[in-house]
Chains A and B, each alone.
Chain A
Amino acid sequence: MTPFTVGLIGIGILFIFLFLGMPIGIAMGMVGFAGFAFLRGLDSALGVLTTVPYRTFASYDFSVVPLFILMGAFCFHAGLSKDLYNTVYKWLGHFRGGLALANVGACAGFAAVSGSSTATAATMGTVALPEMERYKYDPALATGSVAAGGTIGILIPPSVGLIVYGIIAEQSIGRLFLAGFIPGVLEAVFYLITIFIICRFNPLLGPPGPRSTWREKILSLKDTWIILLLFLLVLGGIYFGVFTPTEAAGVGAFGAFLSALFRGKLNTLALKDSLFETLRNTAMILIIVLGALILGYFLAISRVPFMIADTIVGLEMNRYIILIFILIFLLFLGTVIDAPAMILLITPIFYPVAEKLGFDSIWFGIIIVRMCEMALITPPVGLNVFVIKGVAPDVPMYTIFKGIIPFLCADVCHIALLIAVPQLSLFLPSLM
């Protein structure tokens, strides 16, 4: 059997394991190990198992993952998500669909300190959905806007999705963060416009809330300036080369810790919860990273990614048509696998293709991450939908998906724009 055949069989077995419910990281590691042993002998494969776990876990580069997760956790446990929602509501609430607008705005704001879509959706869901029920919002619009708004979490830096892409594709995390900023803000704008249009045609779906005075508006900012400060500190520090991403994450987490402490929101329980939540999420991601690296060794000697790249390039199709096929594939896969796991799974396979096709590596990362976001709300599965269902058990799934459809249309337009105008992603990193 040629290494290429072994590689393809390996990928086939991997997907069987995945769909039988084996933990993703373990399945990747096991197939990688078995395939490597088959091609290079058991001794070499055992050699991989000896060194790779330690090299993966004892890594300075990966310390950026727990530190950024910790920053988000402190912000959450300090009650910042609720304050943020209240602030945005004071500013946007009196418009038609004001609560839904506040949702998206607060999600975008929370994304600036949090790197995960599902976490952002869950956080905002618990805060926003009871309010929307109180003001008699259409449940479809209410749940749809939170599910969609949550996805902004992984595009606006810090982003766990961009970090893992950067590590696997060996791209600068700092540049990726800067690249994600404009697309992330644009995504929020697209969602705001979507809500605006929906409520314009049917004002009953999202009745306007009471108007706040300017005094209330300004006063509401005092609870949330810390988010802006942390965000500017982190992104500005990386941009001006003051910090490495790890240092930015450490300083950000420490800042979030201090702010929670001074606001009197950090009791022992909140501290413990923040640390343990971070521990759990870090281990969850790193076990998949470990699996992805072991699988990567196997795929590299099987040469499957390069052959796929060669074959695809050999088709002599327009490279954008190939890109669209890749994105559709990602959309299917991404509906069942959470974003970081998905990026770890597909980057080793598709990154060589993108490179051969001459796509910019940073831009490709943004597009992949953006696509994973869209997959999170795509029927019939869409992980964020399940998160929202968990927060709002009374709303039927059908209603949530109905509410999501307009946002999916916005997603398609947004992705098309990002593909058509790469400068939206590449402008900020080019200034670095």
Chain B
Amino acid sequence: MALNKVIQALKRVIDPLVRIISYMAAGVLALMMLITAADVLLRYLFNRPISGTWELTSYMMAVVVSFGLSYCALVKGLISVEVLTSRFSHRTQAILNCVTYFLSFCFFVLITYRSIFYIKLMFESNLVSAVLLIPAYPFIAALALGILVFTLVILRDFLEYLSQVVSR
């Protein structure tokens, strides 16, 4: 069936992408822990804090969260209220999921589009951080990429629910 082919094709694109960015997110998370701890230790033991930890942490957070989103969605980590829907028949659940995931997908297409627009805006204004003068736009680009992949995962979920609805 055509729909299943689309889902499989999407899977082949999404899975490696999520894998790559979630490993990057995990690495940055470990780095964030090390930098925070090193900053405190250096400050109290040697009176030599790492300068700009505030902005480094903010930038690292942008990567950790945006790149973690698609992993979270892939392992079904998004919290929803299931108390009502779990009482419905399998088919009704699939129809409801179809509707909610389609709406979610549209909303995140919009956020992806606005984030890409924001990269352009920040690139042109050349906003940099206060201490280390690191430009912000690469991190907004990371955000846009993370949200794009997240949107693709939601699209795939939507198509899977759709195939459950039409296959019966």
Contact = CB atoms under 8 A, between A and B. Distances in A.
B79 interface: yes
Contacts of B117: 50
Given A58-B143, A253-B37, A23 B83 contact: no
B60 to A, nearest CB: 8
Interface in B109-137: 110-111, 114-115, 117-118, 121
B83 A283 contact: no
B152 interface: no
Contacts of B37: 250-251, 253-254
Given A19-B84, A49-B114, A284-B78, A58 B59 contact: yes
B40 A59 contact: no
B62 A275 contact: no
Contact of B81 (A53, A243, A336): A336
A324 interface: no
Nearest to B72: A283
B50 to A, nearest CB: 12
Contacts of A249: 36
B99 interface: yes
Interface in B1-56: 22, 25-26, 29-30, 32-37, 39-41, 44, 54-55
Interface in B79-98: 79-85, 93, 96-97
Most chain B CB neighbours (cut-off 10 Å) among A49, A51, A279, A280: A279
Contact of B71 (A27, A53, A66, A280): A280
Contacts of B75: 280
Interface size class of A (residues with CB under 8 A): 35 or more
B107 A279 contact: no
A60 interface: yes
Contact of B77 (A60, A63, A272, A280): A280
Contact of A20 (B25, B68, B69, B85): B85
B36 A30 contact: no
B147 interface: yes
B57 interface: yes
A162 interface: no
Given A30-B103, A63-B57, A25 B44 contact: no
Contact of A283 (B40, B71, B82): B71
A43 to B, nearest CB: 11
B65 interface: yes
Contacts of B81: 18-19, 21, 24, 336-337
Nearest to A57: B65
Contacts of B107: 26, 29-30, 33
Nearest to A271: B30
A288 B84 CA distance: 20
Interface string A337-359: 11001000000000000000000
Given A26-B107, A53-B143, A254 B61 contact: no
Interface in A236-288: 242-243, 246-247, 249-251, 253-254, 257, 272, 275-276, 278-284, 286-288
Most chain B CB neighbours (cut-off 10 Å) among A46, A66, A337, A338: A66
Contacts of A190: none
A247 B40 contact: yes
Given A23-B104, A54-B118, A286-B65, A272 B26 contact: yes
A17 interface: yes
A21 B85 contact: yes
B36 A246 contact: yes
A147 B115 CA distance: 42
A288 B79 contact: yes
A67 interface: yes
B26 to A, nearest CB: 4
A420 B35 CA distance: 43
16 contacts: A19-B81, A20-B96, A24-B79, A33-B107, A50-B118, A53-B147, A58-B59, A60-B54, A60-B61, A63-B60, A66-B61, A247-B39, A254-B33, A281-B77, A284-B78, A286-B65
Given A50-B118, A279-B68, 18 more contacts: A18-B81, A19-B85, A20-B84, A21-B82, A26-B104, A50-B121, A51-B118, A66-B29, A66-B64, A67-B32, A247-B36, A254-B33, A276-B22, A279-B72, A283-B77, A286-B65, A335-B83, A337-B79
